[in-house]
Amino acid sequence: MGFFGNRRKRAPPAEADAAKVLDHRTSDSTVTVAAKFEGKIWRELSSFLKEKGVAKYSDGISLLFAYGVTEREGIDLEKRRSELMALGSRYAAMRFKTYTLFDQNRALSIALAVMLTENKELRRRAAERGLIPHTTEPWDGWTHETVSEFHGRYLFVG
Amino acid sequence: MRSFWSQQLADMAEEYESMKQRIEVYARDNEILNRLHSQNLELARLLDEASKTGEGA
């Protein structure tokens, strides 16, 4: 059974009037339906369709019905919803991780040019004193362009 | 035609994949920037200690 069928079956009484079929006419190959939506539901629906880039409400509503009735993959609707919820929470955790990394990288990128100069000087002095061996580090080859790339990624974000 | 929920799931999975790729880049940058920063702190500490003890002077 499709989305709309299940929703209708499970909807609490308060939502029963949210959308109502006023009239329907059946011909050989089509069914014409006149429907009434509660203001709040209509606004939510309109905003959802707008968000999805559907300009014409009539197209959007037809699409929603079509998606609902073409749920033929044999996958339980509740399973789909829980998959969506699980993905949603994983996504939220990743967003937080992304934000944390971005924030740290931004702070470090601000000081990057200074850190590179400082590192060169500190390593030279430490090596001269025999405190560390002469080593090569991945950032030794970094140029002004590399620093700009970091700035572009973490500082000048549009 | 894809079902409504399948489409929602596919959209979210696509967004999730793109976020995952972004995290990989950020994590790689974070690792090297932190390594540079930590090395500077460690070298400064070493040089400071050496100057106090007169080591390597």
pLDDT in tens, A110-145: 999 999 999 999 999 999 999 999 889 999 999 999
Q: What residues pair up with A20 in beta bridges, in sequence order?
A: A36
Decide: A24 and A33 in contact? Cβ < 8 Å: yes
Q: Does the model's ipTM exceed the 0.95 cut? A: no
The structural domains of chain A, with segments of one domain joined by +, span: 3-69, 93-154
For residue range A47-91, list pLDDT tens digits in order.
777 776 666 666 677 666 665 655 555 556 677 677 777 877 878
The structural domains of chain B, with segments of one domain joined by +, span: 20-49
**pLDDT for the residue numbered A59:** 66
Distances A110 to A31, A157, B21 between C-alpha atoms, Å: 64, 13, 23
Q: Quick check: B9 and A150 CB within 8 A?
A: no
| Interface check A113 vs B, CB under 8 A | no
| Three-state DSSP state, A56 | coil
For residue range B11-44, list pLDDT tens digits in order.
877 888 888 899 999 999 999 999 999 999 999 9
* Residue A101: closest C-alpha in chain B: B26
| Interface check A124 vs B, CB under 8 A | no
What is the C-alpha separation between A51 and A46, in angstroms, rounded? Answer: 9
| Three-state DSSP state, A134 | coil
Mean pLDDT confidence for A34-40: 80
Would you mind telling me the total number of residues written for chain A in this entry? Answer: 158
